[in-house]
Amino acid sequence: MGAQKDHSEDSEVVKVIISTLRGSTDGRSLKIKELRKSVLLQLNCASDDKDAKKRFKKAVQGLESSKRLSLSEDGICKLKKSEIKKEKKSKKRKKDTEVVSESLDESPDTPPSKKPTVGDVKEDDGHDQQNDSGEREAPIKKNIPCKGNPTGVTRLFVGNLPFAVDEASLKAFLLDSEGRGEITHIKWITDKETGRFYGSAFIEVATSKDGAVAMAKNGQSLMGRDIKLNYAPAREGDIWPPRNNVVTGGQAQSKGIKSMSEKPDGCCKLFIGNLSYDIDDDATHKFFGTVDAEVKAIRWIHHKDSGDFKGVGFVEFWNTESCEKAATLNGKNLLGRPIRIDW
């Protein structure tokens, strides 16, 4: 059973590596350190997770020995041309299958479609078309390859985000000067246990051109931090995009707010997580004061070795009624972060 689990985990790492490289700017290569960081985040592993690093290294070595990718002396990991061709063939087979499926769905009584003449054929330049009234019509497909997005990907990974970032500030940052670059979904990546924000997210954009607009912001500064962006096509089996426009957590959950456990009798204390690193006692008192829940005591949790704040804590109230009022704020924003609350 253990060997079978290890094989399954390695297979998962391989899939993420291939997907990340295909989602890179040139569609095939990344620096090994950037690749590892992106892969570990997508696997919801900490950047200093030694076991995860070993799995990544083993997967890269396996891909290199099977000649699916190459690793240069200057640390550039690049997909082999045969792997790129394999992906193109896979997409072509999928497209052909869809065409056959559509033809089978047509009614026998339906007359064959009129073949376009040479004058009718127009090259799809990725721009919206105008109808007779002069209004813009949406493009037929959202994943059309375009300049800056050669593979037509609409899912992106965003890293090195400031902890004060929120939905509004991220969307505003990724727009271009003409207001283009519509983001339809955001998934904030947080620790499964503590709710701590990892400073990264996955986003879905409306079209491939919006993806190119967002990618142009790679390396630019948001709240004093240089943002990192990569194309990150969804893996097979992923629930993407999520049902809600904004979700929080290691997985793309159907709801952004995690449900609370059952309240213990007479409980006067709450766990609070996914906290901003700018949090302090005063901000916490004011936050719970909005629902008339008076705080008695606060205990912040820190790492034993480093002393770093974990982004979580415990808040005690004077009575169980105040505790219940405070619990109603689960999922509400505190210093730009959706707070996680539990008994």
**Residue carrying the six token digits 């690193």:** 277
**Residue carrying the six token digits 């339809």:** 184
Can you give the pLDDT at residue 135?
Answer: 47
Strand stretches in 252-307, DSSP E = 269-273, 295-302
Sign of CA dihedral 205, 209, 211, 215: negative
CB 24 within 8 A of CB 79: no
**Residue carrying the six token digits 């997909």:** 79
**Distance from CA of residue 251 to its chain's centroid?**
9
- What is the pTM for the complete model shown? 0.43
Spatial separation of the C-alpha atoms in residues 89 and 96, rounded to whole Å:
10
The neighbouring-strand residues paired with 137 are 129
Decide: helix, strand or coil at residue 153.
coil
Reported as type and span, the H/E element at residue 228 is: strand 228-231
Spatial separation of the C-alpha atoms in residues 182 and 176, rounded to whole Å:
10
Q: How confident is the model at residue 194 (pLDDT cuts 50, 70, 90)?
A: low
Spatial separation of the C-alpha atoms in residues 32 and 37, rounded to whole Å:
9
With both helix axes pointing from N to C terminus, report the angle between 32-42 and 2-22 in degrees, rounded to the nearest 10: 120
Instruction: Please give the average per-residue pLDDT across 104-118, as a whole number.
Output: 44
160 residue type, one letter: N
Spatial separation of the C-alpha atoms in residues 189 and 304, rounded to whole Å:
24
* pLDDT of residue 78 exceeding 50: yes
Spatial separation of the C-alpha atoms in residues 87 and 19, rounded to whole Å:
10
Q: How confident is the model at residue 24 (pLDDT cuts 50, 70, 90)?
A: confident
Decide: helix, strand or coil at residue 305.
coil
Reported as type and span, the H/E element at residue 8 is: helix 2-22
Can you give the pLDDT at residue 248?
Answer: 61
For the chain, counts of helices (H) and of strands (E): 8, 18
Helix segments in 23-131, DSSP class H: 32-42, 50-65, 81-105
**179-182: which pairs have CB atoms within 8 A and are 24 or more residues apart?**
180/209, 180/210, 180/213, 181/205, 181/210, 181/213, 181/214, 182/206, 182/207, 182/210
What percent of the chain has a predicted confidence (pLDDT) above 90?
A: 15
- Beta-carbon neighbour count of residue 163 at 10 Å? 19
Spatial separation of the C-alpha atoms in residues 70 and 64, rounded to whole Å:
6
* pLDDT of residue 1 exceeding 50: no
Beta strands at 246-248 and 269-273: parallel, antiparallel or unpaired: unpaired
Q: How confident is the model at residue 204 (pLDDT cuts 50, 70, 90)?
A: very high
Q: How confident is the model at residue 82 (pLDDT cuts 50, 70, 90)?
A: confident
